[in-house]
Amino acid sequence: MRRVTEAKRLIIRPDAGSAFEETCDVLIAGSGSAGVCAALEAAEAGASVVVLERLEQAGGSSALSSGQVYLGGGTALQQACGFDDSADALFQYLVATCGPGADEEKTRIFADRATEHYEWLLAHDVPFKPTFLPHTETTNPPGDDGLTYTGSELSYPICGIAAPAPRGHNVQHEGSSGVRLMSGLLSEAAKLGIEIRTQCAVESLIQSDSREIVGALARSEAGKAQWIRARRGVVLTTGGFHHDLEMLRRYAPTLVPLLPIGVTSEDGSGIRLGMAAGGDVMGMEAGCIILPYTKPRKLVKGILVNAYGQRFINEDLYQAVHGDVAVHAQAGHVFCIADAEVFGEPMMDIPIIGPCDTIEELEGKLELPTGSLVQTWQTYNENAARGQDPVFHKSREWLEPLDRAPYRALDLRISSFPYPFFTLGGLRTTPEGQVLNSESEAIPGLFAAGRSTSGICARGYSSGVSLADATFFGRLAGRSAAAR
Amino acid sequence: MRRVTEAKRLIIRPDAGSAFEETCDVLIAGSGSAGVCAALEAAEAGASVVVLERLEQAGGSSALSSGQVYLGGGTALQQACGFDDSADALFQYLVATCGPGADEEKTRIFADRATEHYEWLLAHDVPFKPTFLPHTETTNPPGDDGLTYTGSELSYPICGIAAPAPRGHNVQHEGSSGVRLMSGLLSEAAKLGIEIRTQCAVESLIQSDSREIVGALARSEAGKAQWIRARRGVVLTTGGFHHDLEMLRRYAPTLVPLLPIGVTSEDGSGIRLGMAAGGDVMGMEAGCIILPYTKPRKLVKGILVNAYGQRFINEDLYQAVHGDVAVHAQAGHVFCIADAEVFGEPMMDIPIIGPCDTIEELEGKLELPTGSLVQTWQTYNENAARGQDPVFHKSREWLEPLDRAPYRALDLRISSFPYPFFTLGGLRTTPEGQVLNSESEAIPGLFAAGRSTSGICARGYSSGVSLADATFFGRLAGRSAAAR
């Protein structure tokens, strides 16, 4: 093999296959939920599979996550908890909340097969307890309950677009259950003899002159090169690019001031490998931006105001809607106003302004235009006293006049409290996981899934949609690769 | 030459150069201002140049434009009209208004050389009359005056970021002067013997195995293939992709409901050629979105309100700021409220709601929350009567109470009045016009400029910035290609 590399060594042209040191059917980069689900499907289809993981431990950001999977259409868990749902309602909800530019093709396929996907997870050591938790302090259940609302299902205007149902399927585990999701999937992988090689990353893809991806040059943490032939395909599942400042500046400048979450290996390495192989990208400007101020949950009863002292959104919408709107429509200049009853010490490290005896005093401290917050507050209180929110339609259960001094504001300006986020854009793929070039042709032998791709969470988010996308389309990518 | 094509024929691999039917030094796709400026520089550097133009006439969207070029730093025209300006102020203005994610590298180079670029235009039959027009009904002077304000220079908050100066350099011509800009540049091109071949487009780029672009397969309207070798390089200057619905849906979904302007050949063909050759793209989600409601200009005295009856912006900012904010922060649900004094029949085809005897009645007709517009209107009037706009800081000259019945609204909802727009995203290039791949390596022999690239108007706009970007960086690209 000619060991001359192009594109900063991301792509290597092979001279002959003889130089490969080992051979597998399907090579997978990344051991998060997308990668391991791809590995399971590929192995079950009879393929020999090698998974490479850059970090010391397998599991990726999925293992650090809250372990909620957004599913619906009438899963066994939804039925056990007494909820009706339909594939159409699930589809409508996702299209309404994952845009602008939601991927209707992927979403339709996902919605139609979500109940089957739930059964597949169950069968792969991912358990769900058949209990429903109506309200939690966060979207992430503190206990091991199985079903919760994790988005804007009950909130105006979404509740009028898609019939509501709780769809957050929370893996059975006390607290953050991503670790249990991944331990289950990884134990299944071990049973099938799938090798997960940690501290080893794909450095270059090996691409023939006919553009087919035929293998990869991997490199271990210790620096050892490994030339791996992948007879059927390579699957890229290394996550997003939120930990790479250069890519953020280039493709998603509005996300630069925010706080990246997940494992630090989400630095766009897989996306860049795919791009170097000719892969197109989509939605690169988009992020899941979380504004997690409603812990304790009673803070939903507060009001969100902008730099002009105006309300601008229904406060009972999902926190990723708040984050997106705060950053992209309100220049990251947002406060939550609470009275003595509604205020609670936030679980996150959010600065508090106040207490103040009057709203006028608080308005001054927040440097809002004179009279603006007072006017907003008076109007809100008058309507709330009648159980109404005619402008933003906050649900009645969260409506009460904020008239009990003292008053405080949560300082939610991005300069004061960097919002957690991760990127949503990535390689453009078919539902089956084939990486497409700019002319919508598949690059032979190259597949991707999860946050290395633009998925069903194209440009909007509810909790659990990324894991749903990663696990479901990870499976499809693994199956496609194995079938070549 | 092996006439096997890849990527839907956008890229052809050559076997040998012998099959080329003709040879030039620099081949340019597109005859708008970027292409013709590239051609002039290349020819002046001694290169033989061929320009291909898909349409019947040369000139592109530049010839249809208002013919304003955003320049500053103290051009001879600014000096003749008695205005001080500096390269730093020009730079600061552009960075503040062309983001998020303004290209500071390109902007710095442009700002430092803008006065020289003005002289270059003068020397290439592009005249400017040394007169200043303080106010126009539109940003485009109706007569042939040379200098106007064409952005947010005098508007809060921009006036506090960059020292204001008028920078719209309007080519001397009655009315829309893009036609004069292009007739001047094209006559200079003719003098240099540059061939402009109309009704002929680049169908495929010819790329060697070492990724060098060595020529193109062009095709005439009549279907005749032309194999053209380009010894020094190919320059892509075919404009944006606002006329291609598929690309808009994929890369810029928020722009889909809007009204594309410019020549219909701005369908992304050059961007796609560049992508097929491995070129990276940037800012693909961004557009210049124009909300041209202030014709007559006195409508700036009206107030813009959103779906909640709130003001949300300083009404004296530039119309492309209004368009961007209306679409991306206010869901395209915007009205302009005017009283009898301020109202004038719009020059654009904007629906009018009213007249109404009271603001209450107008509020009802607009289906705004009860009391919301009344409150906004009262607060505005109280402040305007004191000559103040403490919230949005509209300039005093546009401030007066809107209290003279009857009242009307301009219906600026995108569902009622599709906003004109064009795309701002495109190929990622060096300031010298080299097309970069995703790893920031130049693709040998491939250059681009104008709206086929992401330029100094990366994600924000003032009138004249696109022509400034196209003419200035078109020159640099032509010079770079000729120098290979």
Q: How confident is the model at residue A27 (pLDDT cuts 50, 70, 90)?
A: very high
Residue with tokens 């063909």: B269
CB proximity list for B190: less than 8 A, separation 6 or greater: none
> Which domain CATH number covers A328?
3.90.700.10
Query: Looking at residue B15, what is its pLDDT?
Result: 67
Answer yes or no: do B328 and A330 touch at CB < 8 A: no
B418 assigned to some structural domain: no
Q: Give the side-chain half-sphere CA count within 13 A for B16.
A: 2
CB proximity list for B386: less than 8 A, separation 6 or greater: none
Mean pLDDT, to the nearest integer, of A230-253?
A: 98
Same domain assignment for residues B265 and B388: no
Residues of B in contact with A100 (CB under 8 A): 253-254
Dihedral pair phi/psi, residue B382, rounded to 5°: -60, -45
> Which domain CATH number covers B52?
3.50.50.60
Same domain assignment for residues A74 and A129: yes
Answer yes or no: do B278 and A280 touch at CB < 8 A: no
Query: Looking at residue B305, what is its pLDDT?
Result: 98
Answer yes or no: do B392 and A278 touch at CB < 8 A: no
CB A269 within 8 A of CB A451: no
Residues of A in contact with B441 (CB under 8 A): 7-8
Dihedral pair phi/psi, residue A198, rounded to 5°: -85, 165
Cα–Cα distance, A372 to A182 (Å, whole number):
49
Answer yes or no: do A99 and B278 touch at CB < 8 A: no
CA B250 to chain A, closest CA, distance in angstroms equals 7
Q: What is the pLDDT along chain B (484 residues), one digit of tens a residue?
A: 444 444 447 888 876 555 899 999 999 999 999 999 999 999 999 999 999 999 999 999 999 999 999 999 999 999 999 999 999 999 999 999 999 999 999 999 999 999 999 999 999 999 999 999 987 666 667 789 999 999 999 999 999 999 999 999 999 999 889 999 999 999 999 999 999 999 999 999 999 988 899 999 999 999 999 999 999 999 999 999 999 999 999 999 999 999 999 999 999 999 999 999 999 999 999 999 999 998 889 999 999 999 999 999 999 999 999 999 999 999 999 999 999 999 998 888 899 999 999 999 999 999 999 999 999 999 999 999 999 999 899 999 999 999 999 999 999 999 999 999 999 999 999 999 999 999 999 999 999 999 999 999 999 999 999 999 999 999 999 999 999 9
Cα–Cα distance, A103 to B253 (Å, whole number):
11
Residues of A in contact with B367 (CB under 8 A): none
**Angle made by CA atoms A50, A52, A58, in degrees to the nearest 5:** 110
Instruction: Tell me the three state secondary structure of residue B408.
Output: strand
Residues of B in contact with A390 (CB under 8 A): 369-370
Query: Looking at residue B476, what is its pLDDT?
Result: 98
Cα–Cα distance, B455 to B423 (Å, whole number):
11
CB A453 within 8 A of CB A428: yes
Query: Looking at residue B19, what is its pLDDT?
Result: 80
Last residue of a domain, one of A365, A387, A411: A411
Mean pLDDT, to the nearest integer, of A170-191?
A: 96
Residues B382, B387, B390, B396: what is their CA dihedral angle, to the nearest 10 degrees?
A: 140
Same domain assignment for residues B262 and B367: no
Same domain assignment for residues A364 and A228: no
Instruction: Tell me the three state secondary structure of residue A317.
Output: coil
> Looking at chain B, which residue has its C-alpha nearest residue A368?
B391
Q: Give the residues across from A137 on adjacent strands.
A: none
Answer yes or no: do A441 and B101 touch at CB < 8 A: no
CB A481 within 8 A of CB A232: yes
Dihedral pair phi/psi, residue B418, rounded to 5°: -70, 125
pLDDT digit string (tens) for A195-225? Answer: 999 999 999 999 998 889 999 999 999 999 9
> Looking at chain B, which residue has its C-alpha nearest residue A324?
B329
Which chain B residues touch A if contact means CB-CB below 8 Å? 6-8, 10, 99-101, 209, 211, 249-251, 253-254, 272, 275-276, 278, 280, 282, 284-285, 308-312, 328-330, 369-372, 375, 379, 390-392, 428, 437-439, 441, 459
A310 assigned to some structural domain: yes
Answer yes or no: do A276 and B441 touch at CB < 8 A: no
Tell whether ipTM is more than 0.90: yes
B75 assigned to some structural domain: yes
B419 assigned to some structural domain: no
Residues of B in contact with A379 (CB under 8 A): 371, 375
DSSP state of B409: E
Listed residue (A8, A17, A33, A27) closest to A263, CA to CA: A33
> Looking at chain A, which residue has its C-alpha nearest residue B425?
A251
Q: Give the residues across from B216 on adjacent strands.
A: B205, B228
Cα–Cα distance, B381 to B389 (Å, whole number):
9
**Which of A276, A371, A437 is closest, CB to CB, to B439?**
A276
Cα–Cα distance, B332 to A224 (Å, whole number):
55
Query: Looking at residue A14, what is its pLDDT?
Result: 77
Dihedral pair phi/psi, residue A427, rounded to 5°: -60, 145
Range of the domain at B336: 291-411
**Which of A329, A372, A375 is closest, CB to CB, to B329?**
A329
A420 assigned to some structural domain: no
Answer yes or no: do A254 and B392 touch at CB < 8 A: no
Which residue type sits at B380?
Answer: Y
CB B402 within 8 A of CB B302: yes
Cα–Cα distance, A21 to A27 (Å, whole number):
14
Cα–Cα distance, A58 to A32 (Å, whole number):
7
Structure tokens at B180: 């004069």
Instruction: Tell me the three state secondary structure of residue A185.
Output: helix
Tell me the CA distances in angstroms from A310 to A32, A333, A372, B308, one per residue in order. Answer: 42, 11, 7, 10
A306 assigned to some structural domain: yes
Answer yes or no: do A101 and B392 touch at CB < 8 A: no
Most A-contacting residue of B6, B269, B366, B438 (CB-CB within 10 A), to test interface? B438
Answer yes or no: do B250 and A428 touch at CB < 8 A: yes
CB B241 within 8 A of CB B37: no
CB A445 within 8 A of CB A420: no
Q: How confident is the model at residue A139 (pLDDT cuts 50, 70, 90)?
A: low
**Which of A251, A390, A428 is closest, CB to CB, to B282?**
A251
Most A-contacting residue of B244, B256, B285, B304 (CB-CB within 10 A), to test interface? B285
Helix axes B33-44, B465-482, angle to 10 degrees: 30
Query: Looking at residue A348, what is its pLDDT?
Result: 84
CB A73 within 8 A of CB A114: yes
Same domain assignment for residues B378 and B433: no
Last residue of a domain, one of A388, A411, A434: A411
Last residue of a domain, one of A411, A440, A473: A411
Same domain assignment for residues B374 and B453: no
pLDDT averaged over every residue in chain A: 95
Q: Where are the beta strands (DSSP E) in A322-441?
A: 335-338, 352-356, 407-411, 420-423, 426-427, 434-436
> What is the maximal distance between C-alpha atoms in chain B?
79
> Looking at chain B, which residue has its C-alpha nearest residue A276?
B438
CA B120 to chain A, closest CA, distance in angstroms equals 31
**Which of B8, B10, B100 is closest, CB to CB, to A254?**
B100
pLDDT digit string (tens) for A50-67? Answer: 999 999 999 999 999 999
Instruction: Tell me the three state secondary structure of residue B189.
Output: helix
Cα–Cα distance, A458 to A471 (Å, whole number):
16
Cα–Cα distance, A318 to B299 (Å, whole number):
38
Mean pLDDT, to the nearest integer, of A391-408?
A: 96
In chain A, how many domains are there?
2
Tell me the CA distances in angstroms from B373 to A365, A448, B152, B362, B387, one per residue in order. Answer: 27, 50, 26, 9, 20
Q: How confident is the model at residue A341 (pLDDT cuts 50, 70, 90)?
A: very high
Same domain assignment for residues A116 and A228: yes
Tell me how long chain A is: 484
Which residue type sits at A78?
Answer: Q
Answer yes or no: do B390 and A375 touch at CB < 8 A: no
pLDDT digit string (tens) for A65-108? Answer: 999 999 999 999 999 999 999 999 999 999 999 999 999 999 99
E strand or H helix that includes residue B293 = none
Which residue type sits at B49?
Answer: V
Same domain assignment for residues B442 and B388: no
The size of the A-B interface in CB pairs under 8 A is: 92
CB B14 within 8 A of CB B206: yes
Same domain assignment for residues B253 and B355: no
Answer yes or no: do B99 and A253 touch at CB < 8 A: yes
Answer yes or no: do A276 and B250 touch at CB < 8 A: no
B416 assigned to some structural domain: no
CA B169 to chain A, closest CA, distance in angstroms equals 30
Residues of B in contact with A285 (CB under 8 A): 284-285
Query: Looking at residue A283, what is its pLDDT?
Result: 98
The rounded Cα A83 to chain-centroid distance in angstroms is 25
CA A439 to chain B, closest CA, distance in angstroms equals 6
Query: Looking at residue B18, what is its pLDDT?
Result: 54
Query: Looking at residue B13, what is its pLDDT?
Result: 80
Same domain assignment for residues B13 and B26: yes
Task: Reply yes or no on whether the pLDDT at A157 is more than 90.
Answer: yes
Query: Taking the CB of residue A284, how many other CB atoms lie within 10 A of it?
Result: 26
Same domain assignment for residues B276 and B307: no
Structure tokens at A275: 């791009």
DSSP state of B311: B
**Which of A8, A272, A439 is closest, CB to CB, to B276?**
A439
CA A250 to chain B, closest CA, distance in angstroms equals 7
Query: Looking at residue A146, what is its pLDDT?
Result: 96
Residues of B in contact with A253 (CB under 8 A): 99-101, 459
**Which of A100, A276, A439 is closest, CB to CB, to B253?**
A100
Mean pLDDT, to the nearest integer, of A360-367?
A: 98
CA A86 to chain B, closest CA, distance in angstroms equals 27
Query: Looking at residue A88, what is its pLDDT?
Result: 98
CB-count exposure of residue B320 (10 Å: 0-12, 13-18, 19+): buried
Residues of B in contact with A203 (CB under 8 A): none
The DSSP-derived string for B141-156 is -SS---EE--SSTTST
Same domain assignment for residues B170 and B280: yes
